[in-house]
A and B are shown apart, each in its own frame.
Chain A
Amino acid sequence: DVQMTQSPSSLSASVGDRVSISCRASQSMSKYVNWFQQKPGKAPKLLIYAASSLSSGVPSRFSGSGSGTDFTLTISSLQPEDSATYYCQQSYSSPLTFGGGTKVEIK
């Protein structure tokens, strides 16, 4: 199975900060990575697909980059509503797997 390792597991940042979350895959997978945002008690929401394509309706402060084994989700200017847990997910091979999550808190 492909392992997706996210770092950090949590972070705290101020409104307006630039925040980056890393996801490393255990094998090379081109751009077969998606990113999700999940708020407490809610279903995950798609932010980024194919490593760098922004999902419809998602604010442009979210961006994704990377290919191969290293991927990054960046929030260019952190907003209060961005407080959530973020997950990467590989769509390269079955079983589909998720990273362990990164909890983002606002200082």
Chain B
Amino acid sequence: QVQLVQSGAEVKKPGASVKVSCKASGYMFTTYEINWVRQATGQGLEWMGWMNPNSGNTGYAQEFQGRVTMTRDTSISTAYMELSSLRPEDTAVYYCTTRSHTTISGVVYNWFDPWGQGTLVAVSS
């Protein structure tokens, strides 16, 4: 079955960078776009951006432009999300998820499924 397994929790100091990995299995890695979504403790879901594993093309939410980099290693079916210049408000659980799609009555719809288990990134001095 399609599965995404993420790297373990990280503790970082303000100003540092963190790189979270997301290993895919159960499908051809280059088929589906990988997206990243984060969730601060007790808060809602915030979309960060997407990466096309086939081309390497990316698109980032304005809030993270200049601080986030999404990459991949197709040889090991793994996607990465690196966030730099960390601040305490970046403390959150970071999820990777695939964006699947279908066509209904000629219209293409997409959604996030499945999701990785999440990676807690804590930023504290």
Instruction: Please determine whether B61 and A34 come into contact, CB atoms closer than 8 angstroms.
Output: no
Residues of A within 8 A of B109 (CB): 31-32, 49-50, 53, 91
Instruction: Please determine whether A89 and B45 come into contact, CB atoms closer than 8 angstroms.
Output: yes
Q: Which A residues from 34 to 55 make CB contacts under 8 A with B?
A: 34, 36, 43-46, 49-50, 53, 55
Tell yes or no: B55 within 8 A of A by CB.
Answer: no
Residues of B within 8 A of A50 (CB): 102, 104, 109, 111
Provide 27 A-B residue pairs closer than 8 Å at the C-beta atoms, listed in order of the A residue. A30-B107, A31-B107, A31-B109, A34-B111, A43-B97, A43-B115, A43-B116, A43-B117, A43-B118, A44-B45, A45-B113, A46-B114, A50-B102, A50-B109, A53-B104, A55-B111, A55-B113, A89-B45, A89-B111, A91-B109, A91-B110, A91-B111, A94-B59, A95-B61, A98-B44, A98-B46, A101-B45
- For the complex of A and B, the 5 pairs showing the least CB-CB separation, nearest first, are A43-B115, A50-B109, A46-B113, A49-B111, A98-B45
